[in-house]
Amino acid sequence: MTIETTSDSASRERFLAALTAGDLAVAALEARSSLNAASTRQAKFISHALRGMRRSKERVFRLALLSSFSIEFSADAIVAHAFSEGILVDLYIAPFDQYHQQIVDPTSELYRFGPNAVVLAVEGDRWMPKIYHDYLGIAPSEGPALVAGGIGQIAELVAIFRQHSDAALLVHGFDPPHRPALGIIDGRTGLGQVALINRANEQLQELCRTSADVYAIDYARLVARAGVERWYDDRLRYYARAPIAASMLGELAREYVKYLRALTGQTKKCLVLDLDNTLWGGILGELGPNGVALGSDYPGNAFLAFQHAILELRRRGTILAIASKNNPADVEELFEKNESMVLKKEHFSAIEVGWADKASALSRIAATLNIGLEHIVFVDDNPAECALVEQIVPAVRVICLPDQPERYIDALLRDGLFDGLSLSAEDLERGDLYARRDQAEAARRRSSSLEDFYRDLAMTVTLAPVTPATLPRAAQMTQKTNQFNVTTLRFGEAQLAARLKDANWWLTTIDVKDRFGNHGITGLLMSRLHQDHVEIETFLLSCRVIGRTVETAALARLARRAHMLGLKQVKGRIVPTSKNMPVRDLYERHGFRRDPEDETVWWLGIDGAVPRDPEWLNIVEKEAS
């Protein structure tokens, strides 16, 4: 008899205690470890406990469910699974089958609820009933038109929805009929029933691609992953209009949570991996670089498949790093000698190999890459290491791998931790950018002097006026840059656009290239003309290009330009923050003098000489076009 689903009362007490103490991170961790997808009972317990909790409005995510079936059975699972990811959800569930009225009526409860996101969970036979239930009653030529008609209805609802709400909209796709009317010859005589629904799914994807903040949930794949016979419960479909089996509601909730995580900016950015028994089988220190299990036979082939899955994550923008207890020389040797490795050394943007504890290794990786611990996922096969990391750095998401390597991929990808809502050109290159910086760091260590290092990098620095095309990037940098940032003033695009029209503002982007590649726009200088001086208001550089004398080039060119206009001085200001240590001595290093009355202000006289360009930089100045 199974008693696994019987709740663990100690875990429940820890959960309730953390909740009472207001420690939501710990409560979420407890919830996550006690909640497997199939446990409806535990989900109810968690959801009920949260109901009694006081919550501040701004921290709550408002989710509305519109459905053609009794989706209220999934409510507790959604609330519990979202909470286990640190997201507090307030649910609005429209009465069964009211989705059309709720969307069309501008005064409906849906809009009064003020949702952040809306799920439209309508089964395919509502949009295209004849294809599902009357397929042999329609002429073969009618099929495509019926598909188009169904998608047309959705498109209309989406358009009306957008007039009344700017919430994200998640639309269920369609699950093809499980027992096609023509049985094994479905599709043999033309477009089959299944093919028509597949076409409908493609058209829904197309509709969502071209509508802002509308996403298609791949419902057919969700069902397929569990299996049709497990996913549905026909007893309750007909008895309670609840077609989805109770044990599958957790899976449905987890699929929604992937979107909620992305919509709340919690998509993970960096994957930190253990090595032994994670990327390969066995212990490197005992088996040697070619003795570890990695290759065409079990278990090596399972580890190989895991590496392929990780490489695909990197290609879509996830940063990879290593935290391993090993001899650094052994790991170096393996990267050089083991030709089965899919993941190469250059795929990793930070490598912490040694004997220090993994919690501090993770903190160092976060600092090196300049990303928050809450954006890191740590993967290890050793439960003790996992427990240590969870305890010391609870912000890090820990995946403790199952015993069998063939189950690693599922453990890594199941929750969609790295799923964002879009993919930008920068995402596709990010892994490379960080890796390049790592290569440059290595070059610095190899170079005998700093100047050799700078020369060796063969850098080109391009200074260009901000244009409407580069303005979004400029605004984004003011919002994201914390370390090399003199005043840490944040700006929106609209604010910068106003400055573009004002001739007294000089807005300059800084683009850096080196022999390892193009870093793109990685700096911004905004200064304002006064009667006899120019005042630097904003000066920032991305951490990728700090320590390369780029700032000297930018200051030199600014001073020269001011000098040519007959101005006498350059004024700068440093507003100290907890993070901008790298700029504290910026003006002092470049010959500025502190203002006798205001110690945050610095002055540089440019009557006579102006600062010189660093000789190792190729500096390009672009004119406004």
Partner 1 sequence: MTLEERVRGVVADVLDLRPEEITAATSKTTTEAWDSLAQINIASAVEEEFDIEFTVDEIEVMTSFTTVVATLSRKLQGRGAADEGASVRA
Binding positions for partner 1, rule: CB under 8 A = 1-2, 5-7, 38-41, 44-45, 48, 51, 72-73, 235-236, 238-240, 242, 246-247
Partners of 202 in beta bridges: none
φ, ψ of residue 599 to 5 degrees: the values are -75, -5
d(CA 429, CA 421): 17
d(CA 196, CA 176): 8
Upper half-sphere CA count for residue 38 (Cβ side, 13 Å): 7
Q: How far is the CB of 39 from partner 1 (least distance, A)?
A: 7
Q: Tokens for 414, please give them.
A: 């199941």
d(CA 248, CA 267): 24
Query: How far apart, in Å, are the Cα atoms of 322 and each of 251, 331, 390, 444?
Result: 31, 11, 17, 21
Q: Tokens for 576, please give them.
A: 């100290």
Q: How far is the CB of 148 from partner 1 (least distance, A)?
A: 37
Strands laid side by side in the 270-273 sheet: 348-354, 319-325, 270-273, 376-380, 397-400
Q: Which is nearer to partner 1, 251 or 385 (CB)?
A: 251
Query: How far apart, in Å, are the Cα atoms of 442 and each of 188, 333, 484, 543?
Result: 61, 17, 22, 16
Query: How far apart, in Å, are the Cα atoms of 238 and each of 76, 135, 179, 234, 245?
Result: 22, 21, 18, 6, 12
Q: Give the rounded distance of the alpha carbon of 120 from its chain centre.
A: 24
Residue tagged 């504290």 (tokens): 584
Upper half-sphere CA count for residue 520 (Cβ side, 13 Å): 15
Do the Cβ atoms of 36 and 51 come closer than 8 Å?
Answer: no
Q: Give the rounded distance of the alpha carbon of 71 from its chain centre.
A: 28
Q: Tokens for 116, please give them.
A: 């952040």
Q: How far is the CB of 249 from partner 1 (least distance, A)?
A: 9
